[in-house]
Amino acid sequence: MKLKIGSKVRFKIINHKRKPLCDYNGKCRNLAYSEVYPYLGKKRFNGWSYLCKKHFRVESKRIGKNLVYCKVD
């Protein structure tokens, strides 16, 4: 599976507020659950901006305890 790096963040308007959508591989249209930060100095993981719950679990299993993130409100 080839990953898209540097994709544009898409938003959905809910109750007059912009909510980010998951940008995992550019195809997921779920609301974002967490904002994932890229590792600094490591080339194996360049990171995504936002992930939904499903893709967050996938990446947390793949990366392990080193996944740096914060939850989206």
Q: For position 37, what pLDDT does the model report? A: 79
Select the highest-mean-pLDDT range: 6-20, 21-35, 44-58: 21-35
Over residues 3-31, mean pLDDT = 80
pLDDT digits (tens, 9 = 90+) for 39-56: 655 556 555 678 899 998
| Model confidence, pTM | 0.70
The answer to whether the beta carbons of residues 27 and 51 sit under 8 Å apart is no
